[in-house]
Structures are given as structure tokens and as C-alpha cells.
Chain A
């Protein structure tokens, strides 16, 4: 709410005469604005919005790879099949478990780290510098790196623990092992975002609260959290979505194995589409994912607006 009102304040500043002033100049400017927008708008419509709509349409067809007879409209048949596809629901369940198991600890860790890195500690520069490395790495390399760590023979983890486990290959440890990598991979994005949010926290307010004898937890709840709340909600929603849509990391780490234990929905849909050529069916999976993510996002946004009304 505060962000929005700040925005409209900015917008209601007296417009420069040449840019948005009333009269003929404004109309001409409007035309120019369209001209400036077209180079980006056309590719967006052609390669993003278009394919998205086409993708939704595909979900209602029997489109397949290498098909000779024409693709047919089959209504809800794909979705009916999906309902009965236990493998899909299993992967859907794994996807949700994965997204929650990664996002929640990731957020809490990142929040702790951001508070820590906001303090005047030694080695803070080193931590900040290191913190962004995972962000810069290709996901494929992150996956490869952790394969080396989890390696049954030459792995760092077994070497440290003195064990000989196949962490990624056994049914019980595969998903937790992959979750740890998921947390590691995006920790910097969340941490750095929250750290930027902390720069919003009014220092005087913090000091005043400390003078009044408020403890650390109280200061956090009454001063810090309200200030970083919008950013915290935005980044937690984003990271959840990123995790639901994860592909490369798990593809490299386990390929979805063992026994489908780490087969996230994206891996499932990828295989369905590009290994078995079931384009229509895979598109239906995509639709279900979009629907679920949208619902979760809507709930999140409603919670956000509600919270803003309270304050």
C-alpha cells in the first residue's frame, strides 16, 4: 500500500511541458510512445503470449510428435487421463514437497543471513562476496558440483562422514539430498533481496526501540519485519514459483531417479513431450501447473493486501 501511494505521488508531480503536457504535444508524444514500445511488444506477443495461448490450446488436442494424420480437438480427454495418471500425481506431490522443503528453509536461512550480514561483523565482505557465487553459476554446474560432493566413492560428504552411501541413488536419501542442493542454489537471490530490504529499515527507529529496552526479538518484530515485509512476501512467492518450475538442477543430479523419487513435474512433462512425443498431454500437465501456481500466488497476494490493511 505504501509502495503504491509512493508511486502515485511520484506520478502526480507536475508533468514537464514537452513530455506529457496537455494539447497537441501530448497526442504526438503518445504516438511516439507506441513507436518506442513496438520493438519489444511484437516479440513478446509473437514468442511469449502467443505460444502461451497456443500451449493452452494444445492441452485440448491429441497433438503428438511425428504424427501423420491431422491433430484433433479432443476436449477434456487429456485432463481426464491426467486425473487417472497416478505417476503424474506422484510427481505432482513430489513437486509440492520439493517446493515447500526448499522454499521454507531457504527463506528462514536467508532471513537469518541477511540480518547477520547487515551487522558490523568481520569477514562480512568475504561472506557477501561468496554469497553471490551460486547465483552466477550455471544450474548445470551446480548440479555437477553437488554430484561430486555426493559421489559414493570420491565424494566430499562420504569422505567427511566416513560413510559409503550413494546419497543420490538410494530411495530414502535422494529427495533430501536434492533439496539441500535446491536450498544452496538460490540462497543468494533470497538473501541479497532481503538484505536490500533491510536497508529500508529506519535506523533511528531501531535505536529508539533499543533505548526503550526492547529486546532483539521485539525489535525485529516491531521495527525490522514491518519494513521488509513487502520484499519478504515478494521474494518468498518468487522463490516458490522458481522451485515449482525447477528443471536443470534435478535433471543433472538424478534425472528424476531413483525410481521416480525426484521426478519433479517439469521433468515428467519434459519426458512426456520430448521423449515420448505426447505434446498435447504434456501441455495439459503444464496447464495444471499454471493453475496451481496461480491459485497459490493469488492466495499469497490476498494475504499481502490484507496484511497491508492491518498496518
Chain B
């Protein structure tokens, strides 16, 4: 009896020991992950606040000895940051607004008539569009936009951004639209509401959070976009923030590290804030949702 008990206790002992070892391993892995993720970020922040003398020193530390905001001031002096931020803001706001306005009706149709040929074609197109090499689309777009004099103009860029974020917007919105219970719409119809009336006062309010999330996502996508802006915008006063950032890196790759880091931080802030707001919606409602349904 007693020997059996001790044997059992010993067995449980090794099991807890093994579990504890596994836990330790897990925490170590988590630590490694946090280091890999956080260190470059912290270095960017640290560089942005370092005075030139510390940047030039042989052993730049983690925390600036004399933190300064000069890099930010200098960044604004060196490049037209404010104007490029304005350009980015206009392009992103317009792209986000237009995208959701034109995508919402189609996404609704896709969700409600998802077995129609149209919805199937749309879904197929969404998948295929993920595989477009941008070169194959940007060369003809460049030629066409040049023909209609929309090169080097924000309007041209906005048009491209709208079409570029449409697949994902449709994908997200159709997911949200599917989640709106049909029964509510039916109830409204039974109560005598017209179809338009039902859409406006029943469906839209329920869809609103999804529309906002999609708009914010389209905004972030446009705000961060680089390739199309690089190709389509030539004059510095038209360029968006990501393109202006690359001007800090000279032709020979020499850069003023402090202002470069400072400007980069500023360019990241808006999308970081918005992303934090809609993080949960994006992470739960996008690809996984699409695969699940």
C-alpha cells in the first residue's frame, strides 16, 4: 500500500517536473520572441532621440544620454514632411471612403446571394488578385494614367488605391454582412418596410462597425503603401510620406540616422493608433473568417 503510494507520488512528481520544464521552455520561447520583435523597435525609438554626437560614437547605447527632439525638427527641415503627411492623409482618407462606399453594396450582394455566378466570380477574383505581381498591373496603369494626365496626381493614386484595397474590403465586408441575421430583415419586411427602408434602418446599423473597421483598414493600407506612390508620383510636393522617407536615404545609402528614425516614427504613428483600435476585428474577422465560411 505504502510502496504503491510512494510510487504513485514519485510518478506524479516526475510529471509535475516535466510540466514545469515545459513551462520554462515555453517562457524562454516567449522571451526570445519578444526580444526578436521588440529590439528593432526599441532601437528605432532610441535612435530617433539620440543627439548626433551619440550616434557617431563607437558605442551607441540603448538609452540616449542626452535625449533630444532635434532630430524631429531637423527631419521637418530636410524634407517636406508636413506636406507629404498631408498628401498621405488626403490619399488615404479618400481611398478609404470611396472603397467602403462602393464595396458595401457589392459585399452585401455577395453575402446574400453567395451562390450566384456573380458572387462566385467575385470570390474567385478576390483570390486571384492576391497573386497579381504589381508590375504587370502598374505598367499599363502608368501608361493609361499618363494618357489621361493623371500621372503625378493624387487623384490617379487614389483611384489605384481604391481598386487595390477593394478585394480585401469586399472580403471583410461580406464576412460582416453574412453575420447580419436574415431574420431581422425578414421581420422588417413582414412589418411592411420596403427593401430600401430595411437596408437603411435595419441592415446598415448592424453593418456599421464592420464598415468602420474596413474603412480604417483601407486607410492604413493606403497610408503605408509605397510601390504605386513611387511609380505614379514624381514631383516632391505631390509625394506621400513613405516615398519622402526614402529621400532621407541618399543615393549612396548615406543617411542622417537621427532625422531618418524620427521621421519614420512619425510616419508609423497614425497607422499604429488606428491598427490598435481595430486590431481585434481584423485579427478575428479577416482571413480566418474567410477560410472558415
**In the complex, are the beta carbons of A18 and B141 less than 8 A apart?**
no
B231 interface residue, CB < 8 Å from A?
yes
Interface centre among B27, B118, B241, B292 (most CB of A within 10 A): B292
Residues from chain B with a CB closer than 8 A to the CB of A200 are: 292
A288 and B34 CA atoms in complex are apart in Å by 39
Residue-wise interface mask of B (229-256) relative to A, using a CB-CB cutoff of 8 A (1 in contact, 0 not): 0110000000001100110110001010
A135 interface residue, CB < 8 Å from B?
yes
**In the complex, are the beta carbons of B37 and A11 less than 8 A apart?**
no
- Selected from B38, B112, B185, B249, the residue in CB contact (under 8 A) with A252 is B249
Q: Output the least CB separation between B128 and chain A (Å).
A: 9
**In the complex, are the beta carbons of A16 and B293 less than 8 A apart?**
no
Residues from chain B with a CB closer than 8 A to the CB of A48 are: 129, 137, 163, 166
User: Which of A96-104, A112-120, A201-209 participates in binding chain B?
Assistant: A112-120
A27 interface residue, CB < 8 Å from B?
no
Residues from chain B with a CB closer than 8 A to the CB of A289 are: 133, 135-136
A214 interface residue, CB < 8 Å from B?
no
Q: Output the least CB separation between A267 and chain B (Å).
A: 10
A202 and B120 CA atoms in complex are apart in Å by 30
- Selected from B129, B245, B291, the residue in CB contact (under 8 A) with A234 is B291
**In the complex, are the beta carbons of A154 and B186 less than 8 A apart?**
no
Interface centre among B139, B163, B220, B223 (most CB of A within 10 A): B139
**In the complex, are the beta carbons of B37 and A248 less than 8 A apart?**
no
Residue-wise interface mask of A (49-67) relative to B, using a CB-CB cutoff of 8 A (1 in contact, 0 not): 1111011101000010000
**In the complex, are the beta carbons of B29 and A116 less than 8 A apart?**
yes
Query: Chain B contact residues: over half helix, strand or loop, or mixed?
Result: helix
**In the complex, are the beta carbons of A58 and B55 less than 8 A apart?**
no
Considering only residues 246-304 of chain A, those with a C-beta below 8 Å from chain B are: 247-248, 251-252, 255, 265-266, 269-270, 273-274, 279, 282-283, 285-287, 289-290, 293-294, 297
Q: Given A40-B166, A51-B141, A283-B136 in contact, is the A184-B36 Cβ separation under 8 Å? A: yes
Considering only residues 47-94 of chain B, those with a C-beta below 8 Å from chain A are: 47, 55-56, 58-60
Residues from chain A with a CB closer than 8 A to the CB of B186 are: 16-19
User: Please, which residue of chain B has its CB at the minimum distance from the CB of A40?
Assistant: B106
- Selected from B30, B133, B257, the residue in CB contact (under 8 A) with A127 is B30
Q: Output the least CB separation between B131 and chain A (Å).
A: 5
Residue-wise interface mask of B (202-240) relative to A, using a CB-CB cutoff of 8 A (1 in contact, 0 not): 000000000000000000100111110011000000000
Residues from chain A with a CB closer than 8 A to the CB of B29 are: 112, 116
**In the complex, are the beta carbons of B287 and A231 less than 8 A apart?**
yes
**In the complex, are the beta carbons of B139 and A279 less than 8 A apart?**
yes
**In the complex, are the beta carbons of A55 and B226 less than 8 A apart?**
no
A244 and B18 CA atoms in complex are apart in Å by 42
Q: Given A17-B186, A132-B283, A196-B284 in contact, is the A39-B102 Cβ separation under 8 Å? A: yes
**In the complex, are the beta carbons of A33 and B47 less than 8 A apart?**
no
**In the complex, are the beta carbons of A51 and B144 less than 8 A apart?**
yes
Q: Given A43-B166, A134-B37, A141-B245 in contact, is the A196-B139 Cβ separation under 8 Å? A: no
Q: Output the least CB separation between B75 and chain A (Å).
A: 12
Q: Given A58-B139, A126-B34, A141-B268 in contact, is the A132-B106 Cβ separation under 8 Å? A: no
**In the complex, are the beta carbons of A116 and B132 less than 8 A apart?**
no
Interface residues of B (CB under 8 A from A): 22, 26-27, 29-30, 33-34, 36-41, 43-44, 47, 55-56, 58-60, 101-103, 105-106, 108-109, 112-116, 118, 125, 129-144, 159-160, 162-163, 166, 170, 182, 185-186, 189, 195, 220, 223-227, 230-231, 241-242, 245-246, 248-249, 253, 255, 257, 260-261, 264, 267-268, 271-272, 274-276, 279, 283-284, 287-289, 291-293
- Chain A to chain B contacts (Cβ below 8 Å), 30 pairs: A16-B185, A36-B106, A39-B102, A40-B103, A40-B106, A41-B106, A43-B159, A44-B163, A47-B159, A47-B160, A47-B163, A52-B136, A55-B136, A112-B29, A123-B30, A133-B37, A137-B224, A137-B272, A140-B242, A148-B257, A156-B39, A184-B36, A184-B37, A197-B288, A241-B130, A247-B134, A248-B227, A266-B135, A270-B231, A274-B142
Known: A34-B118, A140-B267. 20 other contacts (CB 8 A): A17-B186, A33-B118, A36-B106, A47-B163, A54-B143, A54-B144, A55-B135, A55-B137, A130-B38, A138-B225, A148-B260, A149-B39, A153-B58, A251-B246, A252-B246, A279-B139, A286-B133, A286-B135, A293-B131, A297-B131
